[in-house]
A and B are shown apart, each in its own frame.
Chain A
Amino acid sequence: MPRTADATTGIRLSEAESRARISRNRAIGLTLAALVALFYVVTLAKLGLHLPFKG
């Protein structure tokens, strides 16, 4: 199946629509990864572990 075809509705995305969707997906992925990192370091800080850059 071509990348620009939507499997559920059969709508063929234009190049601009496809590009926008990919960039949105990347942003969501990066945000989720950042949230994982954020809660990881918050947990360490709350547990009182002394991270090397804490001083």
Chain B
Amino acid sequence: MTDIGWRQSEVRVSLAEPGDYWRLLKPRVMSLVVFTAFVGLIVAPVPVDPILGLVSLLAIAVGAGASGALNQWWDADIDAIMSRTAKRPIPAGRVTEQETLAYGLTLSAFSVMTLGLAANWFAAFLLAFTIFFYVVVYSMVLKRRTAQNIVIGGAAGALPPVVAWAAATGSLAWPPVVLFAIIFVWTPAHFWALALLRCEDYARAGVPMLPVVAGEDATRTQILAYSLLLAPVGVMPWALGFAGPVYGVVATLGGAIFVAAALAVFVRREGAAARKACGRLFGFSILHLFALFAVLAGERLAASF
């Protein structure tokens, strides 16, 4: 066997299309990031130049997409095992791990630099920290080691409104910290509701999600605890005076429904009723977070006209 013959058999011409690279960015996660960051920008007490605001949002979105790509580079082995992720571009064989790594690092550098140039370097630092936290702290360190992976890792998902606030003001204050706290406390109940439904998938992939490690009953207790914590935290923007009465009503009602849905998950532990309760909590959790941030933004926009 010649060396050249071996090399020729290894030659691979990519079949990847732009859509595969788009999917590496986790567009659905990115849309939530854009939305929460937009609210962070709107809530900031400083008028933002619309072009620079738009570019800042774009940079934050691309930064989030880059961390999604780097997460898929690192997790390609477990993505291939889980049915939910098996069709992602790397396990599907359309993009290689090396290509994804280069793509993720390039986008990370460009997004951080662009935010630094368009807004300020404090916001750029926070965006870089968000990417680092999601890729290194969550994906590389926590995800495969501890059942608290998504609790601590949730900080990465909670940071975009903080980054956006920093882009607008160049500093930090209580409002973005409260927005961070809402997403941070919301994340465990949201993900564990899904994890209860996908328990076997995570177990097969060896990911120590709470239902796999501590059991489904303990997970139900934790979900209820976090939903009880989320109810008052959700009302804080109104209590602290940076949200209006409409927000107060929506947050109170939504928080109560969230607790009721978590209670249903806690009580119904067997069969189809249990799965339905988990599905309902998961669905409502998305609606609840969306409603909180949408009302917050709506109130601000209405007040400015």
- Kindly identify, within residues 4 to 55 of chain A, every residue whose CB is under 8 Å from any CB belonging to chain B: 6, 9, 11, 13-14, 16-17, 20-21, 23-24, 26-27, 38-39, 41-42, 44-46, 51, 54-55
Question: Using a Cβ–Cβ cut-off of 8 Å, how many residues does chain A contribute to the interface with B?
Answer: 23
Given A11-B11, A42-B118: A24 and B51 interface contact (C-beta under 8 Å)? no
* Binding site secondary structure of chain A: helix
Contact of A54 among B51, B58, B118 (CB under 8 A): B51
Give the distance to chain B from A35, nearest Cβ to Cβ, in Å.
8
Q: How far is the CB of B5 from chain A (nearest CB, A)?
A: 14
Q: How many A-B residue pairs have CB under 8 A?
A: 51
One digit per residue, 1 when the CB lies within 8 angstroms of any chain A CB and 0 when it does not, for chain B 45-64 equals 00001111001001000000
Chain B positions near chain A (C-beta within 8 angstroms): 11, 13-18, 21, 49-52, 55, 58, 114, 117-118
26 residue pairs A–B, Cβ–Cβ below 8 Å = A11-B11, A13-B13, A16-B15, A20-B14, A20-B15, A20-B16, A21-B13, A21-B14, A24-B16, A27-B18, A38-B55, A38-B58, A41-B51, A41-B55, A42-B51, A42-B52, A42-B114, A44-B51, A45-B49, A45-B52, A45-B55, A45-B118, A46-B52, A46-B117, A54-B50, A54-B51
